[in-house]
Amino acid sequence: MVIDYMLKTALKMIKTIEDHGFQAYIVGGFVRDYLLGIPSNDVDIATSATPKDLKHLFQDACLSNDDYGSITVIFKNIHFEITTFRKELSYKDNRRPDQIIYIDNLKEDLKRRDFTVNTICMDQKGNIVDLLGGCEDLQKKIIRSVSDPFVLLEEDVLRILRAVRFATTLQFELDDTLKEVIKAKKYLLSRLSLNRKKEELDKIFSSPFAMRGIALLKELGLDKELSLIKIYQVKPCSQVIGIWAMLEVDDIYPFTRNEKTLMEEIRQVLDSPLSFSNLYHYGLYPCVVAAEIKDIDKKKVNEAYLALPIHRRKDLAITTKELLNYLEVKAGPFLKPLYQELEELVLTRQVKNEKELLLEKGKELFGKLERDDNK
Ligand code: CTP
């Protein structure tokens, strides 16, 4: 969505909240990305209004996220996540706060957040409000923790992967202290669910700078903690599924059946991405992904695919029924391999894909089979 449209709508949103006597600011990823000229998917708002006030204010438009005490409002097709200023008192499972109190102070709210670049706010007039040095770190391109990184990462271990993700996608550096603490606390990652790990890893691997993220995961020694043992064999690939295929963690992380099939196909094709057989049997996509991994020109793969005499079984100029009629025999175990052989002959251009020629060839092969059987 166009950044300016989102900003205009977000400013209207916080004005509506402020018009009812509350404080409200845009905060987090939207402001960070706006200052970097990057489009965002949603907008976070921090406010002194409580969820009860907000539900009253937005009524039908609002969905409550009761587990986290924030609400989501969809306004003009934009998702607003509105969270009441809060202090987080204690955390459970190194992941989520289990005790919070609502407060009336923006700065206190910002102090509970993860990284300084995520604490920059914007008020209803569009002015930047920077209470914790976020703008300086944004300029220096540094991911730095807002508070003591030991506590910060222990409170919520997902922040380890968020730090790597921001350093990857924004091409920022991790602050030295944060790096050291990540190394010391990496064992906590075992407490994070595979789903949450995969969500963050997907964002890292689908970034145009994925190799930067992969280098960082190695440098911080997170590969073992994340079961990414094969990370040293990963080569650049713009497709996230290609990276997962190289990592060979199909049975560790949650993937759909289709994704598992695709990863297996990509690995199969990696040996010879341009063979007729691969292009025909696996289709274009796994071959293009494998070609990119092997640094083969994708254009060549596309051209080779377009030049295939047939692209799927139903492109073959005869059906099994027509073959059986021509041979004047009933179906039997011979049929499948016979038909496949014809398919292979067409694919490798040994026989033209023409009905008469294929029926004749079929007859010849069938005769040979019968002679072999009688021997
Ligand atoms: N936050 C945090 N710790 C987390 C998750 C979020 O402190 N584990 C804070 C950060 O200040 C963050 C804000 O909550 O900016 C909103 O979180 P989220 O929308 O998940 O992340 P964004 O920073 O907005 O980044 P993105 O939308 O790109 O994921």
pLDDT in tens, 220-248: 999 999 999 999 999 999 999 999 999 99
* pLDDT tens track for 18-61: 999 999 999 999 999 999 999 999 999 999 999 889 988 888 76
180/225 Cα distance (integer angstroms) = 16
To test the pocket of ligand 1, the residue of 118, 158, 201 to mutate (highest count of ligand atoms within 8 Å of its CB) is 118
Nearest CA to ligand 1 atom 12: 28
| Residue 67: pLDDT band with limits 50, 70, 90 | low
- Atom in ligand 1 nearest the alpha carbon of residue 159: 8
Average pLDDT in the 352-373 region? 92
31/53 Cα distance (integer angstroms) = 24
105/46 Cα distance (integer angstroms) = 10
Nearest CA to ligand 1 atom 13: 28
Residue with tokens 């002015």: 127
Residues 6+ apart with CB under 8 A from 149: 177, 178, 181, 182
Give the pTM: 0.90
Ligand 1, pocket residues at CB < 6 Å:
28-29, 44, 113-114, 118, 156, 158-159, 162
Nearest CA to ligand 1 atom 26: 29
The rounded percent of the chain whose pLDDT value lies above 90 is 85
- Atom in ligand 1 nearest the alpha carbon of residue 110: 11
Average pLDDT in the 335-341 region? 94
To test the pocket of ligand 1, the residue of 1, 44, 67 to mutate (highest count of ligand atoms within 8 Å of its CB) is 44
**Beta strand segments in the chain, E:** 24-27, 42-47, 62-65, 70-75, 78-84, 86-92, 96-102, 121-122, 128-129, 142-143, 173-174
The CA 118 to ligand 1 mean position distance, Å, reads 7
Question: Cα 26 from chain centroid?
Answer: 26
* pLDDT tens track for 99-118: 888 999 999 999 999 999 99
Q: Name beta bridge partners: 80.
A: 43, 73
